[in-house]
A and B are shown apart, each in its own frame.
Chain A
Amino acid sequence: MSDWIDICALGEIEEEDVHRFEHGGAVYLAARDDCDGVFVVDGLCTHEKVELANGFVFGCVLECPRHQGRFDLRDGRPCGGPVTEGLKTYPTRVQAGRVQVQLIA
């Protein structure tokens, strides 16, 4: 099991919004839903590789800014719009007000 990686303070992510970060040359998003859930997912849409950091969260759904492909943040599954492939999700926790993730290869 890989180590927990510190991403940002929880307060840096607004409710129903995202925080973009890079690690090891890849783009990721830390996202907050409307019920204080925090999730880390891949940062590019599986449809056209569009940066999801320009998208927004509605409830627990992350929406792609270009084509409105929708992903459930809880498990990454596609739930609307022109996407067929799910978004990879990563184990995430909030420890002492910090968002942390395990980026398992």
Chain B
Amino acid sequence: MIKWKNYALRAERDPRIENAIDGIGWYTSPIPRKRLKELVRRDNGRAARHFLLWLALLVASGAVAYATWPTLWAIPAFLVYGVIYNSADSKWHELSHGTPFRSHWVNESLYRLVSLMTFREPIRWRWSHSRHHTHTILVGHDPEIASPRPPHIALALLGLWYLRGALGEVRTTSAVVRGRIPADVASFVPESQWPEMVYWSRIFVAFIAAIVLACVIAGSILPAMFVGLPRLYGSFLHYTQAFTQHAGLDEDILDHRLSSRTVLMNPVFRFLYTNMNYHIEHHMFPMVPFYNLPELHAEIQSDCPAPYAGLGATYTEIFTTLWRQRLDPTYYARRVLPETAGASGDQRVMDPDFRKVA
């Protein structure tokens, strides 16, 4: 294995990177403030329609899955249920930003619910994701780099069944519930938040114990097939969508247009993925609720690289890039900005300490 950069989180922030963020700043496409104000408006009605439809689909597919258990028809039925269940992960993401509903208490209540469904402890993951937005794909600072170079393709494939994430969760949660905060977690969760993080981690362990107990009492794995196990058997579509966000693209650069992807998807996929396919737009203007991202995309399209035509086109690039990165970690897929686009200037954050090739 070639060792190139150290992707482990640094205990302390690098002042050179902080100065670059403060000085150069993240590139932002020009958009009139009046228009942006329209786009950031939250709408309880639109958000409620989306979430109610999702919950209705979850209940309906769950009913079909229950009715077919334990016949072979249960296999496709639970696959459909699992895919809909794992849509909770993208909804978790939106709710962590607090953007779907105008009523903040609704965002927070649903955030706790989908956190349980996805096994994302709400305190730690909120701070992790905040850091991801501060330091998007800045090596040593972003805790959510899904595809470090050189890529470990077998590990990446385990993500299709959430096995990679689950192992990390077991490792971290087993420490946090005992009040031991791992160094990487301590680097992005402030100490004042640790007691609440420990509290929620213990709730999560109790929640998992309750699922196991339900299975024991029922004498069947069926309860876990509805809550918990879908995270494993049904995560493949969500993972396939989410892995497109940054994999194979540039890193250590303060321009989301070059380190993130916007991928055009069909309405069903966009519904399940809660419009996170508009990922450049989301990173550039994270205040904009998911239902306004298509409009934001149209607004700044001329300032961004052409969106990918679909998952097929995206994975053609990702596969070829990651395959080449196995031997050449300096390689990445370069995004081409349109001639009309604003120049990003010198947005690159070079950190020589991370550029050592062994």
In the assembled complex, 12 residue pairs joining A and B whose CB atoms fall closer than 8 Å, in A order, are A17-B37, A47-B130, A56-B287, A58-B102, A63-B287, A65-B286, A66-B133, A67-B133, A68-B99, A80-B98, A81-B98, A82-B130
Asked whether A82 lies within 8 Å of B98 as measured between CB atoms, the reply is no
Q: Which residues of A in the span 5-58 have a Cβ within 8 Å of any Cβ on B?
A: 14, 16-17, 47-49, 55-56, 58
- Which size class do A's interface residues fall under? 20 to 34
Instruction: Tell me if A79 is interfacial: C-beta within 8 Å of chain B.
Output: yes
Q: Would you give the shortest CB distance from B104 to chain A, in whole angstroms?
A: 6
Inter-chain contacts of B126 with A (CB < 8 A): 81-82
- Chain A residues with CB below 8 A from B99, complex form: 68
Q: Is residue B134 contacting chain A, with contact meaning CB distance below 8 A?
A: yes
List residues of chain B with CB under 8 Å of any chain A CB.
22, 37, 40, 42, 97-99, 102, 104, 108, 126-127, 130, 133-134, 190, 192-193, 285-287
Set B22, B42, B287: member contacting A55, Cβ < 8 A: B287
Q: Add 4 more A-B contacts to A80-B98, A81-B97 (CB < 8 A).
A: A68-B99, A70-B98, A82-B127, A84-B193
Taken together as a complex, chains A and B put the C-alpha atoms of A16 and B334 apart, in Å, by 40
Query: Is A61 among interface residues, defined by CB-CB distance under 8 A?
Result: yes
| B40 and A67 form a contact (CB under 8 A) | no
Tell me, in angstroms, the Cα distance from A105 to B256 when the chains sit together.
39
Mostly, the A contact residues are: loop
**A84 close to B190 (CB less than 8 A):** yes
Main secondary structure of the interface of B (DSSP, over half): helix
Give the CA-CA distance A84 to B108 in the complex, in Å.
16
Complex contacts, B98 vs chain A, CB 8 Å: 63, 68, 70, 80-81
Distance of B100 from chain A, by nearest CB (Å): 11
Who on chain B is nearest to A14 by CB? Answer: B37
Min Cβ gap B290→A in Å is 13
Task: Out of B42, B108, B127, B286, name the residue touching A80 (CB < 8 Å).
Answer: B108
Question: In the complex, which residue of chain A has the Cβ closest to the Cβ of B190?
Answer: A84
CA distance A81 to B130 in the complex (A): 9
Chain B: minimal CB distance from A34 (Å) = 11
Question: In the bound complex, how far is the Cα of B349 from the Cα of A16, in angstroms?
Answer: 35
Interface pair A70/B192, CB less than 8 Å apart: no
Residues of A within 8 A of B287 (CB): 55-56, 63, 65, 68
* Residue on A nearest B134 in the bound complex, by CB: A48
- Measured in the bound complex, the distance between the Cα atoms of B190 and A80 in whole Å is 15
Report which residue of A48, A55, A82 has the largest number of chain B beta carbons within 10 angstroms of its beta carbon: A82
A49 touches B108 (CB 8 A): no
- Is B127 within 8 A of A56, CB to CB? no
Q: Are A67 and B104 also in contact (CB < 8 A) when A80-B98, A84-B193 are?
A: no
Chain A residues closer than 8 Å to B192, beta-carbon distance: 84
Ranked nearest first, the 7 interchain pairs of A and B with the lowest CB-CB distance are: A82-B130, A67-B130, A68-B97, A68-B98, A84-B192, A56-B40, A65-B287
Q: Which residues of A contact B286 (CB under 8 A)?
A: 65-68
Closest chain A CB from B187 CB (angstroms):
14
Cα A68 to Cα B285 in complex, Å, equals 10
A73, chain B: closest CB distance, angstroms: 14
Q: What A residues does B285 contact at CB under 8 A?
A: 65
Q: Which residues of B contact A55 (CB under 8 A)?
A: 287
The CA-CA distance from A100 to B323 in the complex, in Å, is 61
Which parts of A62-99 form the interface with B (CB within 8 Å)?
A: 63, 65-68, 70, 79-82, 84
Q: Which residues in A have their C-beta under 8 angstroms from that of B190? A: 84
A56 touches B104 (CB 8 A): no
Contact of A67 (CB < 8 Å), options: B42, B102, B108, B134: B134
User: Within the assembled complex, what's the spacing in Å between the Cα atoms of A55 and B287?
Assistant: 8
- Given contacts A55-B287, A79-B104, A84-B190, whether A66 and B134 have CB atoms under 8 Å apart is yes
| Max chain B C-beta neighbours (<10 A), residue from A14, A55, A58, A80 | A58
Which among B37, B40, B99, B287 has the greatest number of chain A C-beta atoms within 10 A?
A: B287
Nearest Cβ in chain B — how far from A26, in angstroms?
Answer: 15
How many angstroms from the CA of A17 to the CA of B134 in the assembled complex? 24
* B287 to A, closest residue via Cβ: A65
With A55-B287, A81-B98, A84-B192 as contacts: A70 and B130 at CB distance below 8 Å: no
